[in-house]
């Protein structure tokens, strides 16, 4: 018994006491003590910290009916014992109505540890919930924000914003974060954002960590600059994670759906579903400018029109290694880029994005006769582009520069099908092209000068499976060393090679010293859409070890022979 007694006492000490419930209405009721609904205190009494509001930790304050003056808590909660401000008392649901003239619904000055829940905020002028200084440990959850001006929430410190509904019909932004240089963490999770007008939805300025997860964004009208963006100076930095969100937009963006270009936030954009159906959108969907090693992976993007689905650019600052991996991108437009690293034209920012990793993306275009680029790397080198699939695009991959030379990286183990051009090399030297499958494209490999006349030399073409269309095109006086094109499988009913404007069949090409150990036979794919090799394929074991293999010698192409099991495909 004594042991049980001690356990009971220990639990009493460890657990916070059950808090009291108090009640507040605009003008009060009865005796105005706040003890119950019939004796609700006034907002002025609450703000003044008059008893019983002189101690808030662990207590719940219910706000009743319609409130029209700013709620300014007179003190703080405590760690693990938040003060709770509620608006969902039975038959007295609370709406804060700013009428378009009241600046703030709830203004938390230098106080900490609050939970704000169950309220509806309508038409405040500056912000529905505002932090004037760094207020720690605030949770804003299960509220409704109906905003036609100002911001829904402005926070400057460690806040959790969860499971709210934001209805934005003209406000500047729904969430505006202004974390100071000392840092902090803002978590934005499980919210629903309904947008029909305004400027931005989530706006980040300052420092700190931002975790934006599992929200739903529905953009159905009005004009919008961005769903998520930063604003500030290059000295501001932090980390942003945007993951597990569902975005549907019927309108285009004047900036980009997600854009970071001012501070350095090392963004991680992952596992989101983004559907953009606007036929007039003329901006990127995801745009990263000068960001430190951004990572964009495992997203599903269905885009009717955009300049780029994913765009990574620099103004000249070295931006670390960018990773774009595992995304599924469907482009409904016949121009633009699915994944773009760098730019089409030389500038002072050249080669700031070297070494990008682009792997395991699946890109589906609208028309191979268009100019859509599945993957584009411009005026940056040493990209590793591998295990991607690109189909029905104008270009599968384009690597472009002004005479720069690859010293690492490669284009390897990709599958390009039904493209205008599978792989295009423009003004870049020594690009390794290994173990790709390029099938049913108008032109498989296309090697040429860039638009300024810089030639491509030293391209290495090994272990590739080139099927149908013109297989290799070398324009101008760009060259391939004879031993740099070998151990490939070349098979087409069309033209094998167009070399410096001269058409060559397979025998003529070999007579020039190229592809001496290559194969000229039907590769025997599993089917017209499954480019794995059948057991009897002549591409099996016909490659050469280029340092990437599990078998020696390797199969030719990106999709080697497998013990084929139909239900796995």
Domain segments of the chain as ranges: 19-163
* The pLDDT of residue 206: 87
Picking from 507, 460, 456, the residue whose alpha carbon sits closest to that of residue 488 is: 460
* The pLDDT of residue 14: 37
CB 468 within 8 A of CB 441: yes
The tokens for 260 are: 């970071």
Which of 77-86, 257-266, 283-292 is the least confident region?
Answer: 257-266
- pLDDT tens digits, 338-374: 999 999 999 988 999 999 999 999 999 999 999 999 9
Strand partners of residue 239: 209
Judged against a pLDDT cut of 90, whether residue 7 lies above it is answered with: no
Helix, coil or strand: residue 2 = helix
The tokens for 235 are: 């000295």
In order of 248, 349, 419, 437, 438, the CA distances from 366 in angstroms are: 20, 31, 10, 20, 18
Question: For residue 262, what pLDDT band results from cuts at 50, 70 and 90?
Answer: confident
To which residue do tokens 């591998």 refer?
A: 386
Find the farthest-apart pair of alpha carbons in the chain and give their distance in angstroms, rounded: 104
Judged against a pLDDT cut of 60, whether residue 1 lies above it is answered with: no
Contacts of residue 70, defined as CB under 8 A and 6 or more positions apart, other chains included, come to 47, 102, 103, 104, 105, 106, 107
Report the chain's mean pLDDT, rounded to a whole number: 92
* The pLDDT of residue 16: 41
Question: For residue 549, what pLDDT band results from cuts at 50, 70 and 90?
Answer: confident
- pLDDT tens digits, 102-118: 999 999 988 999 999 99
d(CA 93, CA 118): 8
490-501 average pLDDT score:
93
* The pLDDT of residue 260: 93
Strands (E) located in 132-181: 138-141, 144-147, 151-155, 159-162, 165-169, 173-179
Contacts of residue 496, defined as CB under 8 A and 6 or more positions apart, other chains included, come to 470, 471, 472, 490, 504, 505, 506, 509
Question: For residue 512, what pLDDT band results from cuts at 50, 70 and 90?
Answer: very high
The tokens for 135 are: 């207020």
Judged against a pLDDT cut of 50, whether residue 246 lies above it is answered with: yes
* The pLDDT of residue 326: 98
Question: For residue 411, what pLDDT band results from cuts at 50, 70 and 90?
Answer: very high
In order of 216, 373, 533, the CA distances from 437 in angstroms are: 38, 17, 11
Residue 353 main-chain phi, psi, to 5 deg: -120, 30
The tokens for 551 are: 């078998």
Question: For residue 564, what pLDDT band results from cuts at 50, 70 and 90?
Answer: very low
CB 478 within 8 A of CB 457: yes
* The pLDDT of residue 423: 98
In order of 23, 72, 159, 220, the CA distances from 114 in angstroms are: 16, 12, 10, 33
Judged against a pLDDT cut of 90, whether residue 451 lies above it is answered with: no
Percent of the chain with pLDDT over 70: 95
* The pLDDT of residue 481: 84
160-186 average pLDDT score:
93
- pLDDT tens digits, 202-245: 999 889 999 999 999 999 999 999 999 998 777 788 999 999 99
* The pLDDT of residue 84: 98
Contacts of residue 566, defined as CB under 8 A and 6 or more positions apart, other chains included, come to none
Judged against a pLDDT cut of 80, whether residue 124 lies above it is answered with: yes
Question: For residue 18, what pLDDT band results from cuts at 50, 70 and 90?
Answer: low
Judged against a pLDDT cut of 50, whether residue 46 lies above it is answered with: yes
Name the pTM for this structure: 0.93
Judged against a pLDDT cut of 90, whether residue 180 lies above it is answered with: no
Which of 108-117, 120-129, 350-359, 446-455 is the least confident region?
Answer: 446-455
Question: For residue 8, what pLDDT band results from cuts at 50, 70 and 90?
Answer: very low
Judged against a pLDDT cut of 70, whether residue 569 lies above it is answered with: no
Question: For residue 38, what pLDDT band results from cuts at 50, 70 and 90?
Answer: very high
* The pLDDT of residue 202: 96
The tokens for 194 are: 């309904």
CA atoms within 13 A on the CB side of 158: 10
The tokens for 223 are: 């004009």
281-286 average pLDDT score:
96
- pLDDT tens digits, 223-234: 999 999 998 777
Judged against a pLDDT cut of 60, whether residue 2 lies above it is answered with: no
Percent of the chain with pLDDT over 90: 82
* The pLDDT of residue 3: 47
For residue 48, give the H/E element and its range. Answer: helix 43-48
């Amino acid at each position: 018994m004594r042991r049980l007694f001690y356990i009971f006492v220990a639990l009493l000490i460890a657990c916070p006491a059950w808090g009291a419930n108090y009640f507040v209405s605009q003008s009060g009721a009865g005796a105005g003590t706040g003890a119950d609904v019939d004796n609700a205190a006034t907002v002025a009494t609450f703000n003044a910290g008059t008893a019983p509001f002189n101690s808030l930790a662990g207590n719940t304050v219910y706000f009743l009916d319609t409130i029209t003056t700013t709620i300014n808590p007179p003190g703080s909660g405590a760690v693990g014992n938040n003060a709770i401000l509620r608006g969902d008392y039975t038959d007295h649901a609370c709406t804060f109505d700013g009428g378009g003239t009241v600046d703030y619904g709830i203004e938390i000055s230098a106080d900490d540890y609050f939970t704000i829940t169950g309220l509806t905020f309508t038409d405040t002028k500056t912000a529905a919930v505002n932090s004037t200084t760094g207020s720690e440990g605030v949770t804003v959850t299960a509220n409704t924000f109906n905003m036609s001006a100002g911001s829904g929430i402005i926070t400057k410190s460690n806040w959790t914003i969860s499971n709210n509904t934001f209805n934005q019909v003209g406000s500047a932004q729904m969430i505006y974060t202004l974390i100071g240089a000392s840092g902090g963490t803002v978590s934005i999770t499980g919210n629903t954002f309904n947008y029909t007008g305004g400027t931005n939805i989530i706006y980040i300025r300052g420092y700190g960590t931002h975790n934006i997860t599992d929200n739903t964004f529905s953009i159905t009208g009005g004009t919008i600059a961005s769903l998520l963006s930063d604003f500030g100076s290059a000295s501001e930095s932090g980390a942003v994670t945007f993951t597990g969100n569902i975005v549907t937009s019927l309108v285009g963006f004047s900036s980009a759906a997600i854009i970071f270009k001012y501070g350095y936030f090392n963004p991680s954009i992952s596992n989101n579903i983004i559907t953009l159906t606007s036929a007039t959108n003329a901006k990127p969907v995801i745009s990263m400018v000068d960001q430190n090693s951004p990572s964009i992976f495992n997203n599903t993007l269905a885009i009717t029109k955009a300049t780029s689905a994913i765009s990574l650019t620099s103004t000249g600052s070295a931006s670390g290694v960018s990773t774009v991996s595992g995304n599924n991108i469907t482009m409904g437009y016949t121009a633009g880029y699915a994944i773009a690293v760098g730019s089409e034209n030389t500038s002072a920012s050249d080669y700031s994005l070297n070494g990008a990793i682009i792997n395991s993306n699946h890109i589906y275009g609208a028309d191979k006769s268009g100019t859509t680029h599945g993957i584009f790397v411009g005026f940056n080198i040493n990209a590793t582009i591998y295990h991607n699939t690109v189909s029905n695009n104008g270009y599968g991959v384009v690597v472009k520069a002004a005479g720069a030379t690859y010293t690492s990286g490669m284009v390897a183990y990709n599958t390009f099908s039904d493209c205008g051009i599978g792989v295009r090399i423009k003004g870049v030297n020594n690009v390794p092209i290994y173990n790709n499958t390029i099938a049913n494209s108008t032109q498989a490999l296309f090697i040429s000068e860039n638009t300024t006349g810089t030639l491509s030399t030293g391209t290495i073409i090994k272990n590739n499976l080139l099927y149908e269309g013109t297989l290799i095109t070398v324009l101008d006086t760009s060259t391939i060393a004879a031993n740099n094109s070998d151990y490939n499988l070349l098979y087409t009913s069309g033209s094998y090679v167009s070399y410096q404007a001269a058409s060559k069949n397979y025998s003529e090409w070999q007579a020039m010293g190229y592809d001496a150990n290559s194969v000229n036979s039907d590769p025997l794919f599993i089917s017209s859409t499954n480019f794995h090799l059948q057991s009897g394929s002549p591409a099996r074991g016909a490659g050469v070890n280029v340092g990437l293999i599990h078998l020696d010698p390797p199969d030719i192409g990106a999709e080697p022979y497998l013990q084929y099991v139909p239900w796995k495909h």
